[in-house]
Amino acid sequence: MIRKIMATGVMIASVTGFACTIDGKQGLLPENDMWISTTAKMSNNMTEERFNAVIDKVVKVYEPIISSMGANLKVSRKWEDGTVNAYASRSGSTWNVAMFGGLARHKAITEDGFALVVCHEIGHHIGGAPKKSTWFGTTWATNEGQADYFATLKCLRKAFRNENNAAIVKAMDVPAEVVNKCAEQFSEEADQLLCQRGSMAGLSTAKLFQDLRSSSKEPSFSTPDTKVVSRTDHNHPAYQCRLDTYFAGATCEINDSIDVDNEDEAVGVCYRDSGDTEGVRPLCWFKPEN
């Protein structure tokens, strides 16, 4: 079911149902009709220059990494396109990411939230196991929850590490539970700041998902999703569950230099069977193999 509203250059749709793979494309969001034009008066002050700068920051890190894997990272920058989504796809050794101006212009999306989306799409390519499963078997793509986890566990840490994180975080209203959890997990201030910044990027993106669902209940670090799946959900989790995943990735103590693995879901991550209790993928979408 889709409900559309037109206002100030913005088309909003609330969507029920979570179809997530169309002709091999992996989307950040379920297919939806939300559209935000370049003429819409939005509150996040995103510009085309900032849109490109955020993409550049993440691509600078991952272009050589993907090249070392024998592939070419190609990012399509569709600033004029009002689509509120992002996609990953493959064509032989060309690994594609499509980023849209509509998503970047959404009122909930900060620059860091937009960087997280770029990381999520790259995560579909190199985010490790679990891979998306279909009736025909396992695909090339890391599933939605794992791409979320990879985004804050590995990608944003690499992209943000050499920036003035103290000044950037100081300008944010970081909830006490985030500050405290990051301090518990990391002894170094630099790592604590990266943890806080990644968590807040996750909150930005989770609020986008909330808006898509036309829900009045805001995602919160203090109200984790209590759902426990009986098997790993490869589709888009609920927005609170996705925030829990971003927070888990940000607070996991495993260093971003330790890669994830395409087959072993326990490598390079915080894992319950390894004795970890913090930073583990939430059970609202993830069912450990053992």
pLDDT in tens, 113-135: 999 999 999 999 999 999 997 77
Lowest mean pLDDT among 3-12, 34-43, 64-73, 107-116: 3-12
What is the count of structural domains for the chain? 1
Average pLDDT on 25-33 reads: 90
**279 falls within a domain:** no
> In this predicted structure, what is the pLDDT of residue 14?
29
CB proximity list for 213: less than 8 A, separation 6 or greater? 14, 15, 239
Phi, psi of 64 (to 5 degrees): -70, -30
Query: Does 287 map to a domain?
Result: no
The verdict on residue 281 lying in a domain is: no
Q: Does position 198 have pLDDT exceeding 90, yes or no?
A: yes
pLDDT greater than 70 at residue 269: yes
The whole-model pTM stands at: 0.91
Measured CA distances, 37 to 11, 34, 59, 85 (Å)? 9, 10, 25, 13
Task: Tell me whether residue 285 is in a domain.
Answer: no
Q: Which amino acid is at 99?
A: M
Q: Is 154 helix (H, G, I), strand (E, B) or coil?
A: helix
For residue 41, give the 3-state DSSP assignment.
coil
Q: Using alpha carbons, select from 28, 2, 24, 23 the residue that is nearest to residue 13.
A: 2
Average confidence (pLDDT) over 231-245: 97
Q: What is the mean pLDDT of residues 160-184?
A: 98
> How many Å apart are CA 171 and CA 166, to the nearest integer?
9
- Of 59 and 43, more confident: 59
Q: Is residue 283 part of a domain?
A: no
Whether 127 and 142 have beta carbons less than 8 Å apart is answered as yes
Q: Quick check: 267 pLDDT over 90?
A: yes
Cβ contact 221:251 at 8 Å: no
Q: Phi/psi at 76 (nearest 5 deg)? A: -90, 125
Burial class (CB in 10 A: 0-12, 13-18, 19+), 258: exposed
Q: What is the pLDDT of residue 217?
A: 97
Q: What residues contact 101, with CB distance under 8 A and at least 6 apart? A: 36, 38, 48, 51, 78, 79, 80, 81, 82
User: Considering only CA atoms, which of 189, 35, 208 is closest in space to residue 113?
Assistant: 208
How many Cβ atoms are within 10 Å of 201's Cβ, its own excluded? 26
Specify the pLDDT at position 7: 35
Report the distance separating Cα 210 and Cα 225, nearest Å: 14
Specify the pLDDT at position 134: 74
Domain that holds residue 160: 2-274
- Would residue 207 count as lying in a domain? yes
Q: Is residue 286 part of a domain?
A: no
Average pLDDT over residues 51-76: 98
Residue 179 within any structural domain of the chain: yes
